[in-house]
């Protein structure tokens, strides 16, 4: 019921452009032995082309599960996920995933072979073209010099760059990133966020990005979907296209961060009401 | 009374390029040599040979324990006359046939096991039934079924390779991380291509361990089978050579035969498997 209101609002706003990805009242469950646990309940959102859409929520709210459902690894127990109108049923290379773990790069392939791997495995390109495209995207992430290195010789940040290059080289309809920078140190993380935004300026890919950091969400995204603690339900959708790395520490930025914090952890609302009035495009699911 | 630490003077240093100290230097020759595995292993072998020679001289009984030098000369004679070489060839051909068939069957069985529930149950039931069964105990039955010949030897060899390799490979497949599996499925890999492109390379350390164990089992089984049942294939292999010479009390030739068994084992371990590991799992940083 709540989510239908939210869904209406989304379709109203984007009536002229059909959404690239629509997640419609999706509930997800996972099964530890002997039980079924509901991870998310009736979540709806829509992503437009060239969006940098963020799923933000406390740990355990089902945001990664939601991303895996969009990737096709998990089947929703109710609701539907559609990519350009086609229901998502299985994993596929049109939705490339960048994982958090460093072992997402097969260690038996060099950096270049890693970027070529999905292109060849999905039979998108022949070997020569795949190599050319791999080198092009490796150059974009600044790793052209490491094309023949094996992943175990790279630093964490470089591995994350390879994973991003590998995903972008497939030129997927949507790029899914599951806390890709969470395992990096703070300095490297900041640098990677900056590079990701620069890449986006250049390529204008569509991004679905999962994070648990409010700051990262505000910097990286243009829209944020807030999920409540377990089980994940939509708490709010917030625009943040006005922020980038230079807004860090600014007054507006701080205010938005506080507002998200309040929404996520249900702190005393009265204290912060005057700050929330500045935003006219807030949609909160009551 | 509250204690606060004194405020020290701040400072900045302007750094010149560091040229006075070399950034890399080579280790001394002795250390570099000692880093080579074959040098250390060669030293161990030489040490063992010296001990053997000393013990044999002290014992002074050719029939019970021929010395290292006597064995070496018997080995040399055997190799020159071609007798040993032809026996080795016979044994190795049978061994390779059994080994390869075993590998193929093991991969078929484990592929089935990772893709279906039934395959999983089949593999676990069969391995728990047959893995503890000594291959040599099946030889009388094999002789009954396949007659005196290569086929019964190949049968017991397959038996000795299959279960050890299948168990290791399956354990390796199970150990492949969820992230790597998801990455593979993300590219649209399914079924046999998923096994070939993701599971096998990711599980290669376990598979190599299984191949090594399988090789040792097969080699052992073959020599034992030839020793016990002699020339099953009409012309005997290395085991038969050892058995025959023991009957004729040529103890030095028995030792030469045993030495060949050991040498082939060492060669395969140090050349074939070490090379395989060096160009794969070690190069990829999956194993130290």
Q: How many beta-carbon pairs below 8 A join chains A and B?
A: 64
pLDDT, tens digit, for every residue of A107-163? 999 999 999 999 999 888 999 999 999 999 999 898 999 999 999 999 988 999 999
Q: ipTM of the predicted structure?
A: 0.81
Mark yes or no for CB contact A108/B177 under 8 Å.
no
Residue A154 neighbours by CB distance under 10 Å? 18
Instruction: Using the predicted structure, report yes or no on whether residue A3 has a pLDDT greater than 70.
Output: no
Instruction: Using the predicted structure, report yes or no on whether residue A273 has a pLDDT greater than 70.
Output: no
State pTM to two decimals: 0.81
Mark yes or no for CB contact A91/B204 under 8 Å.
no
The whole-angstrom separation of Cα B116 and Cα B130 is 21
Q: What is the mean pLDDT of residues A268-278?
A: 47
pLDDT the model gives residue B104: 96
Q: Is some CB atom of chain B closer than 8 A to the CB atom of A96?
A: yes
pLDDT the model gives residue B126: 93
Q: CA triplet B235, B262, B30: central angle to 5 degrees? A: 150
Mark yes or no for CB contact B188/A108 under 8 Å.
no
How far B264 CA lies from chain A's nearest CA (Å)? 30
Mark yes or no for CB contact A104/B201 under 8 Å.
no
The whole-angstrom separation of Cα A116 and Cα B286 is 21
Of A93, A96, A101, nearest to B179 by CB-CB distance is A101
Q: Is some CB atom of chain A closer than 8 A to the CB atom of B177?
A: yes
Mark yes or no for CB contact B193/A121 under 8 Å.
yes
Q: Is some CB atom of chain B closer than 8 A to the CB atom of A118?
A: yes
Of residues B254, B173, B167, B178, the one with CA closest to residue B211: B167
Mark yes or no for CB contact B185/A151 under 8 Å.
no
Instruction: Using the predicted structure, report yes or no on whether residue A270 has a pLDDT greater than 70.
Output: no
Task: Point out the residues of chain B with pLDDT beneath 50.
Answer: none
Q: Is some CB atom of chain A closer than 8 A to the CB atom of B189?
A: yes
Is the CB of residue A70 less than 8 Å from the CB of residue A20? no
Mark yes or no for CB contact B189/A117 under 8 Å.
no
Tokens of A133: 């495209």
Residue with the larger pLDDT of the pair B31 and A280? B31
| CA neighbours closer than 13 Å in the CB half-sphere of residue B288 | 0
Mark yes or no for CB contact A122/B188 under 8 Å.
yes
Exposed e or buried b per residue across A230-265, where buried means at least 16 C-beta atoms within 10 angstroms of its C-beta? bbbbbbbbbbbeebeeebeeeeebebbbbbbebbbe
Secondary structure (3-state) at A278? coil
The whole-angstrom separation of Cα B245 and Cα B29 is 46
The residue assigned the tokens 């051909």 is B93
Q: Which of A 201-240 lie inside 8 A of B, CB atoms?
A: none
Q: Is some CB atom of chain A closer than 8 A to the CB atom of B282?
A: no
pLDDT the model gives residue A277: 44
Relative to beta strand A223-227, strand A207-211 is unpaired
Of B182, B188, B284, nearest to A107 by CB-CB distance is B284
Is the CB of residue A40 less than 8 Å from the CB of residue A26? yes
pLDDT, tens digit, for every residue of A75-116? 999 999 999 989 999 999 999 999 988 889 999 999 999 999
Is the CB of residue A99 less than 8 Å from the CB of residue A164? no
Q: Which of A 57-86 lie inside 8 A of B, CB atoms?
A: 68, 71, 73
pLDDT, tens digit, for every residue of A49-82? 999 999 998 888 889 999 999 999 999 999 999 9
Exposed e or buried b per residue across B130-159, where buried means at least 16 C-beta atoms within 10 angstroms of its C-beta? eeeeebbebbeebbeebeeebbbbbbbbbb
Q: Is some CB atom of chain A closer than 8 A to the CB atom of B235?
A: no
Residue with the larger pLDDT of the pair B68 and A275? B68
Of residues A188, A62, A80, A203, the one with CA closest to residue A139: A203
């Amino acid at each position: 019921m709540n989510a239908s209101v939210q869904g209406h609002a989304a379709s109203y706003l984007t009536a002229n452009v059909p959404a690239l990805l629509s997640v419609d009242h999706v509930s997800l469950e996972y099964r530890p032995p002997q039980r079924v646990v509901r991870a998310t309940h009736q979540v709806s959102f829509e992503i437009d082309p060239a969006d940098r859409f963020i799923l933000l929520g406390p740990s355990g709210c089902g945001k990664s599960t939601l991303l895996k459902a969009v990737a096709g690894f998990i089947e929703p127990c109710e609701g539907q996920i559609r990519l350009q109108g086609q229901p998502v049923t299985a994993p596929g290379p049109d939705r490339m995933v960048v994982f958090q773990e460093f072992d997402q790069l097969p260690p038996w392939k060099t950096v270049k072979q890693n970027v070529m791997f999905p292109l060849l495995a999905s039979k998108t390109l022949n070997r020569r073209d795949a190599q050319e495209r791999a080198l092009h995207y490796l150059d974009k992430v600044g790793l052209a010099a490491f094309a023949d290195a094996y992943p175990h010789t790279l630093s964490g940040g470089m591995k994350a760059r390879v994973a991003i290059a590998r995903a972008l080289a497939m030129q997927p309809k949507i790029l899914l990133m599951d806390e890709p920078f969470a395992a990096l140190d703070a300095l490297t993380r900041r640098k990677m966020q900056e590079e990701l935004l620069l890449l986006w300026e250049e390529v204008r890919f569509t991004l679905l990005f999962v994070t648990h950091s409010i700051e990262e969400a505000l910097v990286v995204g243009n829209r944020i979907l807030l999920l409540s603690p377990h089980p994940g339900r939509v708490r709010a959708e917030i625009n943040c296209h006005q922020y980038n790395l230079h807004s860090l520490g600014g007054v507006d930025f701080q205010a938005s961060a506080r507002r998200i914090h309040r929404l996520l952890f249900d702190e005393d609302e009265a204290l912060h009401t005057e700050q929330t009035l500045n935003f006219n495009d807030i949609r909160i699911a009551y | 009374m509250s204690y606060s630490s004194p405020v020290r003077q701040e400072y900045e240093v302007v750094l010149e390029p560091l040229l006075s100290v070399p950034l890399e230097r080579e280790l001394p020759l002795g250390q570099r040599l000692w880093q080579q595995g074959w040098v250390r292993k060669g030293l161990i072998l030489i040490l063992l040979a010296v001990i053997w020679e000393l013990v044999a001289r002290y014992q002074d009984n050719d029939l019970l324990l021929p010395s290292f030098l006597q064995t070496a000369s018997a080995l040399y004679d055997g190799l020159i006359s071609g007798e040993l070489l032809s026996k080795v060839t016979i044994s190795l051909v049978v061994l390779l046939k059994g080994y390869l068939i075993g590998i193929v069957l093991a991969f078929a069985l484990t592929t089935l096991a990772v893709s279906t529930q039934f395959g999983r149950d089949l593999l676990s039931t069969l391995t728990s039934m047959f893995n503890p069964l000594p291959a040599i105990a099946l030889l009388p039955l094999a002789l009954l079924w396949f007659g005196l010949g290569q086929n019964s030897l190949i049968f017991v060899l397959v038996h000795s390779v299959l279960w050890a390799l299948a168990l290791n490979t399956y354990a390796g497949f199970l150990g492949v991380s969820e992230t790597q599996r998801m990455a593979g499925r993300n590219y649209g890999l399914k079924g046999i291509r998923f096994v070939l492109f993701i599971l096998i390379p990711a599980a290669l350390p376990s598979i190599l361990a299984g191949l090594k164990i399988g090789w040792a089992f097969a080699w052992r089984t073959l020599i034992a089978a030839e020793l016990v049942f002699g020339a099953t294939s009409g012309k005997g292999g290395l085991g038969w050579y050892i058995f025959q010479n023991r009957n004729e009390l040529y103890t030095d030739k028995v030792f030469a035969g045993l030495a060949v068994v050991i040498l082939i084992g060492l060669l395969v371990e140090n050349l074939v498997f070490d090379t395989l590991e060096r160009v794969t799992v070690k190069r990829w940083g999956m194993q130290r």
